A and B are shown apart, each in its own frame.
Chain A
């Protein structure tokens, strides 16, 4: 069965960086883009960007340009999201999710999600 399993909760100080992993299983890893979405406590969903696990191509939301990097380790079906220069406003649950349509970056609708990783930023 399809699973996305994320790394555990992180506590960071302002100015630090964090790297969250997302391990995929149960499907063809290279065939489906992975997106990252975050959610602050009690708030809605904010899209961060995507990575194509096949090519490594990425596309980031404007709000995260220069601070977020998404990478993949195809041999281990892992995707990573790294964020630098953390502030308190980055305290949120971060989700990875795969798209529904095979081998297409268009019209992404997210059919399987990781369990979420809480990143807390506090001095």
Chain B
């Protein structure tokens, strides 16, 4: 199975700041990576697919980059509604595997 490792496990930043979350895969997954946002009591929401493509309706302050084994989710101009847990997921092999999550809090 492909292991997905996210860092940091939590981050706290102020409104308007930039947040960067890293996801590392245990083997090459090309660009087959998705990022999800999950708020308490809600289902995950797709933000980014194929490593860097913005899902319809997602604000452009979210962006993704990376290829191979190292990927980044960046949130520019952090907003209060961005408080959530963010997960990465590799989509190249079964079983699908997710990172452990990064909790983003607003100071």
Decide whether A and B assemble into one complex. Answer: yes
Q: How large is the interface on B (under 10, 10 to 19, 20 to 34, 35 or more residues)?
A: 20 to 34
The answer to whether A115 touches B43 (Cβ under 8 A) is yes
Interface string of B34-45 (1 = CB under 8 A from A): 101000000111
Question: How far in angstroms is the closest Cβ of chain A from B40?
Answer: 11
Interface: B46 (CB within 8 A): yes
Per the CB 8 Å criterion, the residue count for chain A at the interface is 22
Say whether B91 contacts A47, CB under 8 Å.
Answer: no
Interface string of B86-100 (1 = CB under 8 A from A): 010101101111111
Question: Complex formed: what's the CA distance from A108 to B34 in Å?
Answer: 9
Instruction: Please state if B46 and A44 are interface contacts (CB–CB under 8 Å).
Output: no
Asked if B62 is at the interface (CB within 8 A of a chain A CB), the reply is no
Known: A44-B87, A47-B96. 19 other contacts (CB 8 A): A37-B44, A44-B98, A44-B101, A45-B36, A45-B87, A45-B89, A45-B98, A47-B97, A62-B95, A95-B43, A97-B43, A107-B91, A108-B91, A109-B34, A109-B46, A109-B49, A110-B36, A110-B44, A111-B46
